[in-house]
Amino acid sequence: MLLRADWTPFIKRRAAELGFMACGISKAEFLEDEAPRLENWLRHGMNGRMAYMENHFDMRLDPRRLVDGAKSVISLLLNYYPAPEDQQPADTLQISKYAYGRDYHFVIKDKLKTLLADMQAEIGDIGGRCFVDSAPVLDRAWAKKSGLGWVGKNTNLITPGSGSFYFIAELIVDVELDYDGAIRDYCGTCTKCLDACPTQAITEPYVVDGSKCISYFTIELKDQIPTEVGGQLGNWVFGCDICQDVCPWNRFAKPHQEPQFQAHPDLKNLTPGDWREITHELFTELFRQSAVKRTGYAGLTRNIAFVSNPPEL
């Protein structure tokens, strides 16, 4: 068994060995700064029809309400930035880079479970729960508090030297560890993300109206896409990377090393015509284990039809 002083270094070393890009730790406590921000965002209906965002309000601000005896929140980043040669060319229909490979929920859950099991083997009888992009946990707020980056004007977490193309996950555990501190904001006077957003979803610096975001229209919305946004979705048929692609900090993004995030080799060769004719069989083949399955074949073809023939206003 490890000495108390060695617990935190052990966790960070194991996290790196499991392929996580960074690991930061915070005391599990009420997120005081986030409470008014979350309340305001919900009050203005910026969650659109994502009703799940309104649930568990108290739980989302205090992990001790979520996990019995919670003492520490361990935040972990996993890079998904595809190598340039694996990215789709700009002149075809686009899916968000995070959805190229195997659904991150499965990939990360496996790694988190391994990390927790290793902690239990080396540290002792630890209780904990794993969270991946899970509504009750404000993952950006925890990662920020743990010094893994700052929350930029596009509301993504940005890490100096790495950018923002990564997933954030948490392990909430019932032992005290050594805690990290936040870093400063390096957005400065830049407004590239605000200027580039085609739907003006970034309504002011640090505020994204989720109900105006292309990710919402192409993934979350189950009904018809409103005609008012005809022509504004560009080539995006699943998610949108624009406010990350234009962020100068993503010049530092390095290709991921996770084989499970590798796209199907045919994805980057699809022309706009191929997309318009995509069959159910090809959809299943290309996105067998990808998060794109969230929209289903019907949802993706709805999006393809919408961006290919945008309604006239």
Span near ligand SF4 by CB under 6 A; candidates 109-117, 149-157, 223-231, 295-303: 149-157
Question: DSSP characters for 291-312?
Answer: GGGGTHHHHHHHHHHHHHSPPP
Residue found under tokens 């083997």: 121
* Residue 245 appears among annotated catalytic residues: no
- Distance between CA 247 and CA 190 in Å, rounded? 9
The binder of ligand SF4 chosen from 137, 168, 201, 225 (CB under 6 A): 201
Task: Using CB under 6 A, pick the residue from 187, 292, 304, 307 that binds ligand SF4.
Answer: 187
Catalytic residue, chosen from 118, 133, 174, 185, is: 133
Tell me if 219 contacts ligand SF4 by CB under 6 A.
no
- Shortest Cβ 206–ligand SF4 spacing (Å): 9
Alpha helices (runs of H) in the chain, residue ranges in sequence order: 7-17, 34-43, 57-61, 104-122, 139-145, 192-196, 214-215, 242-245, 272-276, 280-286, 296-308
The residue length of the chain stands at 313
- Return the residue of 134, 203, 215, 262 that touches ligand SF4, per CB under 6 A: 215
Measured distance CA(148)–CA(61) in Å, rounded: 19
What is the smallest separation between the CB atom of 50 and ligand SF4, expressed in angstroms?
Answer: 13
In whole angstroms, the minimum distance from the beta carbon of 218 to ligand SF4 comes to 9
Instruction: Read off the amino acid at residue 268.
Output: K
Q: Which is nearer to ligand SF4, 50 or 246 (CB)?
A: 246
Largest CA distance in the chain: 67
Q: Is 192 in the site for ligand SF4 (CB under 6 A)?
A: yes
Under the binding rule (CB under 6 A), the answer on residue 79 touching ligand SF4 is no
191 binds ligand SF4 (CB under 6 A): yes
Does 153 help bind ligand SF4 (rule: CB under 6 A)? yes
Instruction: Give start and end residues of each alpha helix (H) in 44-159.
Output: 57-61, 104-122, 139-145
Is 190 an interacting residue with respect to ligand SF4 (CB under 6 A)? yes
Decide: 140 and 157 in contact? Cβ < 8 Å: yes
- Report the interface residues with ligand SF4, using CB under 6 A: 152-154, 187, 190-193, 197, 199, 201-202, 208, 213-215, 240, 242-243, 246-249
What positions carry a catalytic annotation?
133
